[in-house]
Amino acid sequence: MPKGLMGLLAILGLEPIGQNVFRGSSPNPSFQRVFGGQLIGQAMIAASRTVEARMAHSLHACFVQPGDPKVPIIYEVELLRNGKSYSTRRVTAVQHGKAIFSVVVSFHVGEQSAFEHQDKMPSVQQPEELTTDALSRNPLFAELPEGVRRWYEPDRVIELPYPPIELRPVEFGHYMGRKLRDERIHFWLRIAEKLPNDPVLHMCALAYASDWSLLDAVLARYGRTVLDDSNILGASLDHAMWFHRPFRADEWLLYVKDSPSAQGGRGLARGSIFKRDGTLVATVAQEAAIRTRR
């Protein structure tokens, strides 16, 4: 990981300051607002610290108002339920005495299932085939914005305040104003640092990264992106995630995203996350406010 880049372990390292109360900070105080994935990941860490012998299987979050990266974030955990099979926690993130984010996280003891199925992973290029060297012969690759081209460089991670992750987009036509063929975006991602063998940490890390660029699934249908279109105003409204099967967040995962609807100044995006062997490990859904600048 490049020198000076705050690691994910440090970002998720919350400080306990009271009973079921924790304090977190942002990696880049100079940024305009707190990255939504940071709030999701840190809140999930806080919730997980109040549960024993149970793993999170879902979260449902609401972004109340923008967070201030210069101010510590207080996470208050409410113990809503401790049942035989499930536990439920509500976490509220607070700054300046006001809630900026709220999430309900559900935990499960785990059990044998009478039913087992999953969607099939799409057949796409592998991350080793999506590097600068591998794509250099493609004439369209040279036309990509420089910031996007750098994602394909070995060991290149996206800049703060976003999570320290490596990205390898499979399609890149929409970064040049072209519409998607099948209205889906595929990209490989992984956390850019080796993580401990703690499944809770890997789930929180993926929750952190899952918020990255979901809005692009809406805009890509029109050949537009949030990266190069200053007329687009977008903000996440809510975020839901379901965890299906074990995985490691520091290994390559395929994120498949699409947008089934956009209307009334809002756009809905959903995503499926697969291991390289085709195992479906998580499902994501998010709605965002999306407008054009007048």
- What is the per-residue pLDDT across 124-168, written as a single tens digit (0 to 9) for each? 999 999 988 888 888 888 888 887 888 887 765 555 445 478 889
CATH code: domain 8-110+125-292 is 2.40.160.210
- What is the per-residue pLDDT across 35-45, written as a single tens digit (0 to 9) for each? 999 999 999 99
pLDDT at 192: 87
pLDDT at 174: 79
- Report, as residue numbers or ranges, the catalytic residues: 211, 236, 286
pLDDT at 139: 81
| Residue with the larger pLDDT of the pair 216 and 98 | 98
Q: What is the pTM of this model?
A: 0.93
- What is the per-residue pLDDT across 200-213, written as a single tens digit (0 to 9) for each? 999 999 999 999 88
pLDDT at 195: 93
Model confidence at 254: pLDDT above 80? yes
| Residue with the larger pLDDT of the pair 251 and 143 | 251
The percent of residues in the chain predicted with pLDDT above 70, rounded, is 94
In whole angstroms, give the CA distance from residue 20 to residue 51. 11
